[in-house]
Every structure is written in structure tokens, then in C-alpha cells.
Structure 1
Amino acid sequence: MPETTPPTTAKIPAPKTTRIAVPQKRQSPWRMLLRRPLFWMAAVILLVMLSFAVAPAPFAGLFGNGDPRACDLANSKVESAPGHPFGFDLQGCDIWAGAVYGAQASISVGLLATSIALAIALIMGLIAGMGGRAADWVVSRLTEVFLGFPFLLAAIVVLNMLGTRSVLTVGVVLGVFGWPMMARLMRASVRSVAGADHVLAARTMGLGTGRIIARYVVPNAVQPVLLLATLTIGGVIVAESTLTYLGIGLSSPAISWGLQIAAGSRVFQTSPHVLVLPSVMLALTVLAVVALGEELRSVFDPRERR
């Protein structure tokens, strides 16, 4: 009989299962922001400093006499005393009360100058981005002229020509020379938004230029400029302190961190406590503003979320 081979059973491959990728729901930027510890740290520090600036009297009197102008030369450079844990400065004024009241002037200059610079930047950026080639050329050349002057040098020249240097004058001068970078960013943002489909559709529908700018262009183009303005506040506060330290910024009877640092630097070798508290408050405020701006940029900027 012929040999028979046993039948072979072929293995049937199991059907492949295809995985369907379920798109993940994108988290809200505000939820992402609220989960960041650095944001909360910066927000708490800024809230405390803003409280000092808005209502300094209750905070200045936490340890005793809260009047920064109640000075006694008999207490000159005393390190600490009952009711005055941070000591007295060269003129016998309470350092804690002066630092608390100094937040009002320093933060006010930062907010005022940034607001003026932001307003100029928004106007210039809109003119350059929506006004055509001629308007774009004029604004670009004007921006280059202002960028050609160093920020602090231009402020020094103008402030030297002014008779009085108050919070208003210093804030206006710093704001007038602080807009070019924000204007460039606004111009680029406006030009990118102006070519979007919804803006072109609005034009074909016959909407006016003013309505298109107010309803479609500005709300979509202003976000990166606002983030840059947040970082600018810290730079302006440092600039005000630098000018005041050089004797060109705020002057007496104003009270600011720059004036305290300038006075404390003259007696730092013998009385370092005079310089420590206003310097720490200035550094904490600037670092908190910069950290808050960086956190906002990393959350709301689409390029940072990739």
C-alpha cells in the first residue's frame, strides 16, 4: 500500500485588531495654569505687594509706628527696636514702613509706564498692520528711530530736562520710550490675523474696516502683546529704581524702593540692614512679575504647548 502522509492543519492567523485613536480632549489653558505651583507663588507675592501699594497704612503699622516720615535722628542706623524689627535708616525713619509705602510709587510707575507703552504699541501696530504699505513704512521707520536710542539713556536725557520728577512724569517718560518692541510684535500679529479666513469672509460680507478691527483683528492679535506687557512691568520697575539710584528718577518727598536703595548703599558697609529690606522687596516683585509672565506665555502661547 502506498504511504499516506497525515493531513497538515494550517494555522489560520488571527484577525488583526485595529486600534482607533481617540482624540484626547485638550485641557483649558486656565486649568493648566492653575495647576502650576510657580504661578501660585508669583500670584501670592504680587497680591501682597499690590496690597502694600493700594492700602499701605495698615501693613506699615503691623509692628508699631507706621508713619514712614516720623523720623528721629536719635535712632539713626539703629538695627532694631521694639515696634521696629527691621531698624531705622540714616535719618532715623522706620525701614519697614518706608519699604511698604515704597511699593506704591514703584509699582505705580511700572503699571503707568506699561499702560502708556501698551496703548502706543496697539495703535502703531494696528496702523502698520492694517494701513497699507505707506503706513507700514512710516511706522517701521519711526519704530527704528526709537529703537536707536538706548532706553535708559533716552530716559536720562528727558528726565534731566524736567524740573520735577514725580510718579506721573517718570511713568510717562518710561512709557513713551518703552513701546517699540511691543509695536513690532503687534504689527506681526495683526498681519497674521488679517489674512485669516474669517477676516476675509467678513470683508466679503461688506463689513467696515473699523468693525473688522474691533471685532476680529484686535481680540485675536492682542494676546501675545499682553503677555509681553506683563514682562515689561518688571523691567520698568527695575528701570525706575536704577534711575532713582542714579539721582535722575523719583526725588523727595516721594518714597520708593529706589530712593531707599540709594540711601542704603551709602551706609552699606557700616549698616547693611538699611539696604536689605527694600532690595529684597524689589527683587521679589520683579521675579514674581517675570515668573507670572513666563507662566502665562508657556500656557497661552501655542508654540510653547507643542
Structure 2
Amino acid sequence: MTDTIRTPEATSDTAEDTASPKAPPPSRQRASLAKDAWLELRQRPTVWAALVTLLLMTAMALAPGVFTSLLTEAGGRCDLADSKLGPSASHPFGFDLQGCDYLAQVIRGTRPSLLAGLAVTAASLLIAVVLGLLCGFYGGWFDALVSRITDIFFGLPFVLGATVILVAFPDHGLGAMILVLTVLGWTTMTRIMRSQVIALADADYVKAARMLGARPARLMLRHILPNAITPVVVVAMLNVGAVISGEATLDFLGVGLQYPQVSWGLQLNAAQAFVLDHPHLLLFPALFLSATVLSFILLGDALRDAFDPRLK
């Protein structure tokens, strides 16, 4: 019987063949997840409808004069003789209380609502990322202090708290509105960010990076933040619609923006006394407001479904 002699080359090849495949690096996994999410999102008609609606609203907010000149006749002219007239071929939205073309006024009301929603959400997201990273990573007395502060804000109703603050400062504008809504709106995203960081701080790849000498700043920014930010971004997308609704509610109650400023909430406030005789005054700003808020909600839900592996 002749013994089979294995050469070193054969032994090496066999070991390589039987070795388990290496796991892809985290950056490749994140890229694959984002690609899969985009492939799923672009197949949904609701996503495209929401995107088109929001792009149109953004264009109206950035350049309202372009749309009023294209869609209305003498959009800047106001005549009390036309007050509260209904829609017609030349004025599809009719006229408001001052006899101004209502389509032009509704288009001009897009800017403050959209600006408030985006600015408040961006500021709240920044606060949530910073505080959530620090609290979840370090813990200790700082985490306990921030947690107690968020508990206090959670116990304060959003609209009631904003109303009390804005009534105390009657000469306020859009900047003050954004500041107040940001102060009252950062808590939910901070809690979510903190919980994500706590869950990821004990992950194997974070422990390995720490053992290799990675500093806390690199651990947070390079290894934890990219994996913890997705749920917070999804909540932020949903939050834009909530902020726009909150801003319109404060305007409707009379504690938000004041005339001669133009917003959907102010238009709804002015229309409430004439809704039975002149329903167009309530219908069109409510339609624009609902379409904008619904678009952000649909996008947020779609992002959550696309990035949450438990829903696959």
C-alpha cells in the first residue's frame, strides 16, 4: 500500500477551500443596505407621488413669484370689491377677504410652513445626535441629567407649551416660532438616538476597535453614528409633518404668525367665520397643508419599511 503524500501547496489550497467566507466590512454592508432600500423605495408609487408633491411645494416656497405670475392674473392686485368671490376660470381659487387672488396667497403661505418644518427638524436632529451620542456612550451623571430634562419636556403638552411661551412674547416672528418649536421638539429623537447608541456601544466591532486603541471620538463618529442614525432620520422625516401641523395650529389659534404675514394657519383662521357661505376660503389652504403633511408621513413610513430588517 502506497501512502499519499500531500504537498504544502495542496494543504494550503484545501485549508482555503474549507475556510468560512469572510464577512464583508461594515462600510460594504451599509452600502448594500442603502442600495437595497433605494431599489425598494423607487418601486413604490406613493414615494414618487410624495416626492413630486414636496418638490413642487419647495419650488413654491423658494420662488412664489414665479408661480403666481404663471398661474394667476394680476396675482398681486387686491380689490375689496372682489372680497370672498368664489373660484372662476381666471381665478381658480377665488378671492380672499381682502379681495386678493387666493391662489397667489395660498402659494405665498407655503414658505413659512415649509421653512418652519425643515428648520425645526434639522435643529432638533442636530441636538438629538449630539446629546444621544454623549449620553449613550458615556452615561453617568450627564446621561441622568439629560434624561430628567427630557422627562420634564415629555410632561409638557406641545401645543400648550408653545402657546404659553409665544403669548408671553407677543412681538415674535418666524424665527421665534422656529426657536420655540425646536426647544419643545428635540426630546423624542434624543431618546431614540440614546437607545441606539447604548445598544451599539457593546457590539463586537466597537469592542474590537476600542481594544485596537481607537479614541472615543473615533468610536462614536466612525463606528457608532453611521449605524445608529437611520432610525432617527426616519423619525425626523415624520417629524417635519408634525412640525408643519403644529405651526399651522399655532397660527390658527392666533399665537403664531400675525398679519400682514401669510401662512396656511392664518388663512384657516380667517376662513372659519365664513366656511358655510364661502367654503373655498377653508378648502384650498387645508388642501395644501394636508398634502404637504401627508407627503412627509408617507416618505417617513416608506423609509422605515425600507431600512428596518424586521419588516423584510
TM-score (norm 1): 0.88
State the AA in 2 paired with 1:214. Answer: L
Select the residue among 38, 41, 46 that pairs with 2:49: 41
2:72 and 2:145 mapped to 1: Cα distance? 58
Aligned residues, how many? 280
Q: Unmatched 5+ residue regions in structure 2?
A: 1-31
Kindly name which structure, 1 or 2, has the bigger radius of gyration based on alpha carbons: 1
Q: Mean alpha-carbon deviation: is it higher for 166-175 or for 289-298?
A: 166-175
How far is the alpha carbon of 1:81 from its aligned partner?
4.6
How far is the alpha carbon of 1:135 from its aligned partner?
2.0
Please name the residue that 1:123 is paired with. Answer: 130
* Contact 1:115–1:175 (8 Å) recurs in 2: no
| Matched ranges for 1:71-220 at <5 A | 71-81=78-88, 83-220=90-227
State the AA in 1 paired with 2:255. Answer: I
Q: Unmatched 5+ residue regions in structure 1?
A: 1-24
2:74 and 2:196 mapped to 1: Cα distance? 48
| Matched ranges for 1:53-72 at <5 A | 53-65=61-73, 67-68=75-76, 70-72=77-79
2:87 and 2:49 mapped to 1: Cα distance? 29
1:294 and 1:265 mapped to 2: Cα distance? 32
Please name the residue that 2:26 is paired with. Answer: none
**Change in CA separation of 1:125 and 1:104 when aligned onto 2, cut-off 3 Å:** same
Please name the residue that 2:228 is paired with. Answer: 221
* Contact 1:78–1:89 (8 Å) recurs in 2: yes
2:109 and 2:57 mapped to 1: Cα distance? 10
1:190 and 1:174 mapped to 2: Cα distance? 25
Please name the residue that 2:288 is paired with. Answer: 281
Whether 2:251 is the aligned partner of 1:244: answer yes
* Contact 2:125–2:189 (8 Å) recurs in 1: yes
* Contact 2:53–2:291 (8 Å) recurs in 1: yes
TM-score (norm 2): 0.86
Amino-acid identity (%) = 42
1:228 and 1:260 mapped to 2: Cα distance? 29
**Greater share of helix residues, 1 or 2?**
2
Please name the residue that 2:238 is paired with. Answer: 231
Q: How large is the Cα RMSD of the aligned pairs?
A: 1.6
* Contact 1:63–1:83 (8 Å) recurs in 2: no
Please name the residue that 2:15 is paired with. Answer: none
* Contact 1:117–1:177 (8 Å) recurs in 2: no
How far is the alpha carbon of 1:208 from its aligned partner?
1.0
Q: Mean alpha-carbon deviation: is it higher for 247-256 or for 77-86?
A: 77-86
* Contact 1:116–1:176 (8 Å) recurs in 2: no
Whether 2:268 is the aligned partner of 1:253: answer no
1:98 and 1:276 mapped to 2: Cα distance? 13
2:124 and 2:36 mapped to 1: Cα distance? 30
1:81 and 1:45 mapped to 2: Cα distance? 24
